[in-house]
Structure 1
Amino acid sequence: MSPTSPDTGTTPAVDSHPEAAATAPAAAPAAPAAPPAAPRPSLWARLVASVDDPVLRILVGATLISRLGRGIFLTVTVLYFTLIVGLTPGEVAIVLAAASAAGVVASFAGGWLTDRFSARRLIIAFTAIEGVALIAYVFAADFVTALVIAVVCGLFEQGANSTRSAIIARAFTGESRVHARAVLRTVTNVSIAVGSGLGAVALALGTAEAYRALIVGAGLLYLLGLFQLVRLPARVDAPARVAVAEVVTETGSVDAAATAEAIASERASWRSHSPWRDPRYLWLTALSAIFGMQFGVGELGVPLWILHETTAPEVLIAALLILNTVIVVIFQVPMSKGTHDLRVAGRVSAIAAWLMAGACLVYAAAAGLPVGFAVAVLVIAATAHAFAEVLSQAGGWGLSFELADPVRAGTYQGVFGMGYSVGALAAPLVVNATAVSHGLAGWAVLAAIFLASGLGTWWIARRAARTA
């Protein structure tokens, strides 16, 4: 009887011939047991690992403290101007608009300065001045004083933001840069949410002393953040430009004409790295600024739409803001992975475009529905809106870093930040002129704007990936 196949599981017959027994192969040794799977790290361990870089830890610590103060100030600012300082609604609007306009200029200036001076010293100086300016609000007694303080705050807040972006561009590479931006945005949202809760104390008490105490506290938190920023290492600064040596002739004298020509050549080379000479980056900035108006939809369009055009209760406005914050905090970091790759960044930008366009149309569909249906439709729209925000930010960060010239990383980030500032300044006007004023037709126009800008960003990313 011949041996059966090993797959049958039966025992083969033993050969009685000793020669056969001698030549029979030895049994194969048993396979070693697989090592036990490593236990999945705890949530706290994963959080700690996500900020293992020392520069990121410093930025997270400073952001956690200062954005807490920002949340306090954002909660009380309008009512403080109105009830305590005594400004009219029109004057409050001018003060806030002037602060935003100042931020447009400062966004570019902050990045431009980091290519020429120490980013560490700049962010410390900008943050310190902003904290002192916040405290100075307690001395605002009229429109002019409030306007001046608001402009100073707007200037140095956006200057600090651009400086921070330049620091990230230089201190990290590839995926770690987008990861750092995602972590800092998550921390910002958490801190502002907690600060807003603290700001509600002043709203509950309603006294001038309570408002002023919280504003002072907000400014002091900015100043406390300086204890983290002073620990930033030298590697976050731009490398020094190579000085042009004097041209010396054979006789040992300085050739003034040749030296001047060498200096002019070095300056021309430096200017050639300017983002203003980079049409692709300028288009990316413009399209990202347009899509950034989605923040205005959440801050202005949706509340007014719920209030005037739907049967949903007003408390839903606060609930949708909380929903947005929760989604950003949970999903911003994981959904930002891989967006340092141009193709991935373009893909998530396209998905964000479709989500945002759909959200606009679903917001519009809530008008005239019964309460329960209106609430359900608005929650669906806000969820799509929040994920569009998360994905658009991730894609925009990846492209803004990867398409920038590293020689002038600060100026490039300053230009990109300036685009967002312009978008934020234009958002109230655009949202009011479309969705708020024209209902369904206006929402459809907004949907088309977001779809076009998001798909334009996708097209730029795809073209850049092909030529990379």
Structure 2
Amino acid sequence: MGTTKVLAVAQVANSVGDGAFYVCSALYFTRVVGLSATSVGVALTVAWAVGAVVGVGFGHLADRVGPRRVAIGLAVGTAGALASFLVVRSFWAFVVAACAYTCGQCGLAAARQALLAGLVGPERRTRVRAVLQSVVNGGLAVGAGLGGVALHVDTAAAYLAVFALDAVGFVVAAVVLRGVPEVVAVARTGRLGVLRDRPYALVALLNSVLLLYMPMLSLVVPLWVVERTSAPKWVVGLLFVLNTGAVVVGQVRLARGVTDLRTAARSVRRGGVLLLASCAVFAWSAGVPDRVAVAVLVVAAGIQVVGEMLHGAGSWEIGFGLAPADKQGQYQGFYGTGTAVARTVGPLLLTTLVLGGGVVGWLVLGALFLAAALAMTPAVAWARRAGSAPTGKRIGAAAETTLTS
């Protein structure tokens, strides 16, 4: 089996459980454990903040000892964190379990990206990343369907089965990753050069703002559907299936137009415009009859997922293309903090903004998406003018060609 296929199988192995987890987790912790939406938001804010910091360190460790072995260890660790959710019954226990989960997820994402960068040539990375995203979303769609069943059953046992399924998936992923070769460790110093690369830091920050669509989908939209619309609860699962299914069908196609940093920035701009439009349509779903609400939510989710795919294709090219070849682990770990920052700031910000502000809150969120997308172009240009990171040469001939085009 080829390297790309093994990587895809490893991610699919845990994506089914992840899909069910994302659909059910917010409602499980609010309705079964008994935490308030604000408490869940605060706990996840703390957890993703911890994960953001620890993930960079795990990425640096991947550079020094090899991303394959780090990825395997973190997949097992994430499975243990998920298993701990089975016994969580209090706020502080939830905080501890969530911190373990986010550290595992952030570190695993960095190690996987470093493994991909080490095994796939620069000219193919964005396309392979799009293929992986497409395949993984197939697993997420299946998982979202299972999560929808758990929501329909609406019992503690059904939700706990979802958590157990996700934990088993990460163990399987760890086993599958043993089938790819290790990347030779190239980092020779203990210094984290990415922390001094200000242009890259700005790009990562803007990316984190755009990634607010992640907690929007996993936390805010489910709570919005249940609390502010007349749509039935099962629509939450339907929207997640729509999102992941669209990525399966469309992500590779949309990524074909991204071939360098210029086209990557353009793709991000277009994605920001659509994310703004989706927020406006989501806002319209409140205060209308149930059938109309379902239709509006489906339209909003459809617009959002196209914006998500355009952003994703551009973001991957930018993240790889501006990173030094010998520091992919730490740079991908740092760039990956965009996910952690979005999930750190997102739960509290978005629950307050959208659930508290209603239509105005949705429009403010959409304006944030658009502003970050437009700012990405000059930020990438600044990083291109910088020419190289403080700790090494930017990756690949493709990046060099882009800089001179």
C-alpha separation in 2, matches of 1:214 and 1:366: 28
One-letter identity of the residue aligned with 1:298: L
C-alpha separation in 1, matches of 2:155 and 2:290: 36
Q: Which one of the candidate residues 69, 73, 85 is aligned to 1:121? A: 69
Q: Which one of the candidate residues 212, 218, 227 is aligned to 2:166? A: 218
Q: How does 1:34-433 map to 2 (within 5 A)?
A: 54-75=2-23, 77=25, 86-89=33-36, 92-93=40-41, 95-140=43-88, 144-199=92-147, 215-234=163-182, 236-239=183-186, 241=188, 271=191, 274-306=193-225, 315-367=234-286, 375-433=294-352
CA RMSD between the two structures = 3.2
Structure 1: runs of 5+ lacking an equivalent: 1-51, 242-266
Does the CA contact (< 8 Å) of 2:26 and 2:218 recur in 1? no
Shift of 1:408: 1.0
Which residue in 2 is equivalent to 1:41? none
- Which of 1 and 2 has greater Rg? 1
TM-score (norm 1): 0.72
Which residue in 2 is equivalent to 1:443? 362
C-alpha separation in 2, matches of 1:110 and 1:339: 29
C-alpha separation in 2, matches of 1:200 and 1:306: 14
Flag the 1:460–1:126 CA change in 2: closer, same or farther, 3 A: same
Shift of 1:451: 1.1
C-alpha separation in 2, matches of 1:62 and 1:358: 34
Flag the 1:282–1:227 CA change in 2: closer, same or farther, 3 A: same
Q: Give the secondary-structure state (helix, strand or coil) at the position aligned to 1:321.
A: helix
Flag the 1:214–1:457 CA change in 2: closer, same or farther, 3 A: closer
Does the CA contact (< 8 Å) of 1:356 and 1:385 recur in 2? yes
Greater helix percent: which structure?
2
C-alpha separation in 2, matches of 1:60 and 1:82: 33
Flag the 1:130–1:305 CA change in 2: closer, same or farther, 3 A: closer
Shift of 1:94: 5.1
Shift of 1:289: 0.4
1:319-341 per-residue CA deviation (whole Å, 9 max, x = no partner) reads 33332222111111111124241
C-alpha separation in 2, matches of 1:387 and 1:99: 29
C-alpha separation in 2, matches of 1:140 and 1:304: 21
Shift of 1:348: 0.7
Q: Give the secondary-structure state (helix, strand or coil) at the position aligned to 2:186.
A: coil
Structure 2: runs of 5+ lacking an equivalent: 385-401
One-letter identity of the residue aligned with 2:171: L
Which residue in 2 is equivalent to 1:252? none
One-letter identity of the residue aligned with 1:65: A
TM-score (norm 2): 0.82
Q: Alignment identity in percent?
A: 33
Shift of 1:222: 1.9
One-letter identity of the residue aligned with 1:108: V
Flag the 1:228–1:314 CA change in 2: closer, same or farther, 3 A: closer
Alignment coverage as a number of residue pairs: 386
Does the CA contact (< 8 Å) of 1:360 and 1:444 recur in 2? yes
- Between stretches 195-204 and 407-416, larger displacement belongs to 195-204
Ranked by relative contact order (alpha carbons within 8 Å, sequence separation 6 or more), the top structure is 2
One-letter identity of the residue aligned with 1:393: G
Flag the 1:383–1:111 CA change in 2: closer, same or farther, 3 A: same
